[in-house]
Structure 1
Amino acid sequence: MADPRTSAPARTIGQRVLRPREQVEEHIRLMILSAELKSGEMLPPEAELARQFNVSRTTLREALRSLTTQGLVYKVPGARGGNFVQAVDHHSLGSVVIESVHNLLELGSIDFREVAEVRQCLEVPAARLAAAKRGEEQLEQLRDIVRQQKAASVEDPEVPKLDERFHSLIAQASGNRVLASFVSALHHETEPVHYLNLSPEVGRETVRQHGAIVAAIAAQDADAAQDAMVEHLTYLRSHIADERGSSGQSERKPPELM
């Protein structure tokens, strides 16, 4: 890592003079975004960084915590640990979304209903795009998931994973990596299959709907893919609403989509 005293960090943003912690944070951030610091690279020890930036260890740690919150740096504890540069790509975007949504849900700042509504807003156009852009390998993977779902019992512990893979793969087939990251992250955080009463009848109907979505994507029929996805999400939302009404479940707990 270049000595910041020989390549001075930006000291202002607009007309505002940056505080020492902000100067350290901005300098390291620019080095990461310019690829001067590579993904996975370990930063120098904190004592050395503090010396290089001519700041206290406390100021340095505040800067590193801020960079960690931004998803640019992560810390590995232990004698062989340290501060490392986080991978900055569409995969790390999904990780940041998962962590942020999880924290907001835990704090009660947002609720599952809002997350579920965003999922529907994203998954319907994702199905349309997948119909236009899917590759043969992705199509075969979707068909394989449906085959596994048909063979699985509703008690099979693999059912939630298969469901997550199904929806995530459709988003990946859309060809839009940002969309795929968001869909996968939101599905991962809500884990809706856990909140659905998976009776054999519901399981069979869900798999049938998955099959219809795949058939439309295979035919590259965007309208049919959209309609099939809407039917699937609407069915599950209504079913979960019925289950909640009959079982007296809390309004906050279950999400609305699978």
Structure 2
Amino acid sequence: MAGGVEQKMIGQAVLKPRQQVEKAIKDAILAGELESGEMLPPETELARQFNVSRTTLREALRTLSSQHLIAKVPGARGGNFVRSVDYRSLGTVMTEAVDNLLALGSIEFDEVAEVRQNLEVPSVRLAAANRSEKDLTELSEIVHRQKTATVDDPEIPDLDRQFHTSIARASGNRVLASFVSSLHNATEPVNYLDLSPEVGRETVRQHVSILRAIKTRDPDAGEEAIVEHLTYLREHIRTYRKH
């Protein structure tokens, strides 16, 4: 107030050169002007375009990299590339964050496994309600491959990942799918199991029960089956990790 008259607000904070560079590149990515996988111009050219020093430019690029908007690839054919910006990239960011926290000991494995179970229950229930014929075909193919695989098949961990993430996608909720995928990648239950033929057969039997519930659109049976499955896995993981 000046002399009792309210002053009109027309000013705003002036961005520093580094922040201006960050904002311009970020806006271009989010607007689709820079597409996923596209390589940014060389750093010398970008510095020239923005009329900033290479130090300022590199600081801006480091910030954009920490935000998972770009990735720096080393080598003669490397450079700064635009990363995917969609619901799948959310899962990637979460996986990296959870992996780092587990490695640092900031969170416990059992905490991640517990949250994963609490997310996979609604995931299966929603999949039972929303699944398409395409989803059923995909899940059936995965289970068939699991039935015919031997316990020492290196494809087993990836088949397990595919099964759980396919259910999450069938839920129709892309955010939920990203969360389930990231937590599954962090826990990687099959990699912790002493995968004997007996454990392998039991795991596949449980997958069949889950798939049957989704196929018959029975969310209650789906919840019962996924809880049995994840509880079974957690018990075996806990036993295996003690040795």
**For this structure pair, what is the TM-score category when the shorter chain's length is used for normalisation?**
0.7 to 0.9
Partner deviation per Cα, 1:57-87 (whole Å, 9 max, x = no partner) = 1111011011011111122222332222222
Q: Is residue 2:154 matched to residue 1:157?
A: yes
Contact 2:189–2:233 at 8 Å: present in 1 too? no
Match of 1:234 in 2: 231
Q: Is residue 2:59 matched to residue 1:62?
A: yes
Partner deviation per Cα, 1:72-128 (whole Å, 9 max, x = no partner) = 112222233222222211222222222222222222232322221221121111000
Cα–Cα, structure 1 residues 80 and 222, in superposed 2: closer, same or farther, change >3 Å?
same
Q: State the identity %.
A: 67
Alignment of 1:120-131 (within 5 A): 120-131=117-128
Alignment of 1:110-121 (within 5 A): 110-121=107-118
Partner deviation per Cα, 1:134-188 (whole Å, 9 max, x = no partner) = 1112212212222222222222222111111111111111111221122122212
Cα–Cα, structure 1 residues 39 and 161, in superposed 2: closer, same or farther, change >3 Å?
closer
Cα–Cα, structure 1 residues 77 and 211, in superposed 2: closer, same or farther, change >3 Å?
same
Match of 1:52 in 2: 49
1:39 offset after TM fit, Å?
Answer: 2.4
Match of 2:168 in 1: 171
Q: Is residue 2:140 matched to residue 1:140?
A: no
Taking structure 2 as the reference length, what is the TM-score of the superposition? 0.88
Paired residue type of 1:109: S
Alignment of 1:207-218 (within 5 A): 207-218=204-215
Distance 1:81 1:234 in 2: 45
Q: CA RMSD in A?
A: 1.9
Match of 1:191 in 2: 188
Match of 1:99 in 2: 96
Q: Which residue among 23, 28, 31 is the counterpart of 2:20?
A: 23
Paired residue type of 2:180: V
Paired residue type of 1:217: I
Contact 2:143–2:207 at 8 Å: present in 1 too? yes
Paired residue type of 2:211: V
1:15 offset after TM fit, Å?
Answer: 5.6
Query: How many residue pairs were aligned?
Result: 233
Distance 1:47 1:25 in 2: 16
Cα–Cα, structure 1 residues 41 and 105, in superposed 2: closer, same or farther, change >3 Å?
same
Taking structure 1 as the reference length, what is the TM-score of the superposition? 0.83
Residue 84 of structure 1 aligns to a residue whose secondary structure is strand
Match of 1:3 in 2: none
Partner deviation per Cα, 1:192-220 (whole Å, 9 max, x = no partner) = 11111222222222111111100000000
